[in-house]
Amino acid sequence: MTHATDSGPTPVLALDGVSKSFGAVRALRGVSLELLPGEVHALAGENGAGKSTLIKILAGVHRPDAGRVLLDGAAAAFHGPADARDAGIAVIYQEPTLFPDLSIAENIFMGRQPRRALGLLDHRAMLTATAALMARLGVALDPERPARGLSIADQQIVEIAKALSFDARVLIMDEPTAALTGSEVARLFAVVRTLREQGAAVLFISHRLEEIFAIAQRVTTLRDGAWIASEPVDGMTEDDLVRRMVGRDLDELYPKQDVVPGEVALSVRRLTREGVFTDVSFEVRRGEIVGLAGLVGAGRTEVARAVFGVDRWDGGEVDLDGRRLVNGAPSVAMAAGLALVPEDRRAQGLVMGMSIERNIALTGLRTTVRAGLMDRAAERRRSVDWAVRLRVKHARIADAVSTLSGGNQQKVVLAKWLATGPKVLIVDEPTRGIDVGTKAEVHRLLGELAADGVAIVMISSDLPEILGMADRVLVMHEGRIAAEIPRAEATEEAVMAAATGRAA
């Protein structure tokens, strides 16, 4: 059962025909992947393509239903994350989980601190070892500094140092750059290159294609859980990669209809929430789709929350169709015709244990009422109507919404809000974690709504989505609107430049 068929080094870690299902959802179908020592391997794919499942299999969190995990060419069975760690596999997540009140050194050696005689902690040995790790990574971080107050970038470096202290040979980096600034990304990449030169195998996941081209030697693309290609990065273009990820031309995925904008539907003026966003002003007209772009943490979601009323604002005003909205009152915003499809559908969009019917009904409790009591027939009709209109695939409308796939859950959230007949619809990451087909459906729906005169604000970290759907793009940077770019001039470069604060 020797595996190495091709010439070249044996992969440190490999997947061979791995499949994994969760209930009816086939997250991975016969996926293969080879991680070579001294190579950075990028994993590309849309949300829901199966990347996180693949990582969890490599990290020993999930076990494959079929196929093999190969460690140094030999089949390995990880019974848990500890097994994978002992095998030299480390995962660096987007959001590091350090103990804020412990020092960097203590965080690195948590639970296995070096001891002296009598079982006392050998503090000095720990500091020396940490300093050595930092030197190896080529960064200057004081081992005695507490983790509290470290930037996310520095926290990730601590996590990497921790991985090295476990003698990790395989480093899996799950969207490490999502929350980093440009210079922090550059520093992280320097560390990654150092590791690569020292012979580590790195699996790098990022939604930013330019980063894949900057750091990786090879790239494996997944789509809808299936392996599409593994190939050298040299000679590929971003368009090639997008085509592999999406599997169709972008025009089809972004069916933007041309609309002549009507009168102003939403007007936000000098909206400020201290420490979160400042002086945010914009208008959205009927029929218009306005994209709200920016890095994670730039304040996009926070602005949407404040406009809708789930958070309070400290200054500014919001008018909807000429009606002044009340600070911190979602019910007033709803009555005025505002709908918000929140970014986290499991925590904010849906009551997971409740039925599809009741979830959709939640926004209609004031309307499906007769003489103060629930009108159950009207309630059911409303829910069924919208579930059908959005083509929610479900067994029974009374089934718990948790039984649906992610894409169908998102449709239920949309149904729940469209049923209120909004004049202004804010969608926050409307297609995160849903499959390509449903994604296209959501986009078509948004296009149709705009054509019907609904004003739409679309927040998305998915740049192609913003560029494909929006009439105008507002870019936020550090809590302010940094740029407004009309559709004709909106390119990835222009948006990213503004999002990272490089625009004038």
Partner 1 sequence: MPDSPGFAGPGSTGAAGPEATGFPLARAVRWDTVVGVLLLVVLLLSFGFVDGFGNGLNLSFLIGNTLPIALIALPMTLLVVAGEIDLSVASTAGLSGAVMGALWNAGMAIETIIPLCLLLGVVCGLVNGLLVTRLGLPSLAVTIGTLAAYRGVAQIVLGSDAVTDFPTQYLDFASGRVGDTFVPYALPPFLLLLAFAFVALHATPFGRSLFAVGANEEAARFAGIRVRRHKLWLFVATGFMASLTGVFWALHYASARYDNATGLELSVVAAVLLGGIDFDGGKGTLGGAVAGVFLLGTLQNVMSLLDVSAQSQIVVTGVLLVLSVLGPRVARQVAQARAGRRAAGRPPAVAVPGDSPPASGAG
**Rule CB under 8 A: which residues touch partner 1?**
23, 65, 308, 310, 330-331, 333-334, 340, 342, 347-355, 358, 361-363, 365-366, 369, 372-374, 395-396, 398-400, 402, 416
Q: Which is nearer to partner 1, 195 or 341 (CB)?
A: 341
> What's the closest the beta carbon of residue 145 comes to partner 1, in angstroms?
32
Q: Which is nearer to partner 1, 155 or 363 (CB)?
A: 363
> What's the closest the beta carbon of residue 419 comes to partner 1, in angstroms?
11
Query: In angstroms, rounded to a whole number, what is the distance separating the alpha carbons of residues 464 and 219?
Result: 20
> What's the closest the beta carbon of residue 270 comes to partner 1, in angstroms?
25
> What's the closest the beta carbon of residue 341 comes to partner 1, in angstroms?
9
> What's the closest the beta carbon of residue 301 comes to partner 1, in angstroms?
12
Q: Which is nearer to partner 1, 218 or 346 (CB)?
A: 346
DSSP code for 121 = B
DSSP code for 345 = I
Q: Which is nearer to partner 1, 206 or 301 (CB)?
A: 301
| Nearest by Cα to 42 from 189, 154, 143 | 189
Place of tokens 């499959």: 435
Ramachandran region, residue 16 (left: φ > 0; alpha: ψ -120 to 50; beta: rest): beta
Q: Which is nearer to partner 1, 113 or 348 (CB)?
A: 348
The 10 Å Cβ neighbour count of residue 10 is 16
Q: Which is nearer to partner 1, 105 or 350 (CB)?
A: 350
Q: Which helix (H) or strand (E) holds 239?
A: helix 238-246
> What's the closest the beta carbon of residue 379 comes to partner 1, in angstroms?
9
Q: Which is nearer to partner 1, 288 or 302 (CB)?
A: 302
Q: DSSP string of 265-322?
A: EEEEEEEEETTTEEEEEEEEETT-EEEEEE-TTSSHHHHHHHHHTSS--SEEEEEETT
Q: For residues 263-291, b (16+ Cβ closer than 10 Å) or e, as one string?
A: ebbbbbeebbbeebbbebebbbbbbbbbb
The Cβ-side half-sphere exposure at 436, using a 13 Å CA radius, reads: 21
> What's the closest the beta carbon of residue 70 comes to partner 1, in angstroms?
22
Q: Kindly list the distances between the CA atom of residue 480 and the CA atoms of 133, 171, 258, 278, 503, in Å, as whole numbers in the listed order.
A: 38, 35, 29, 6, 13
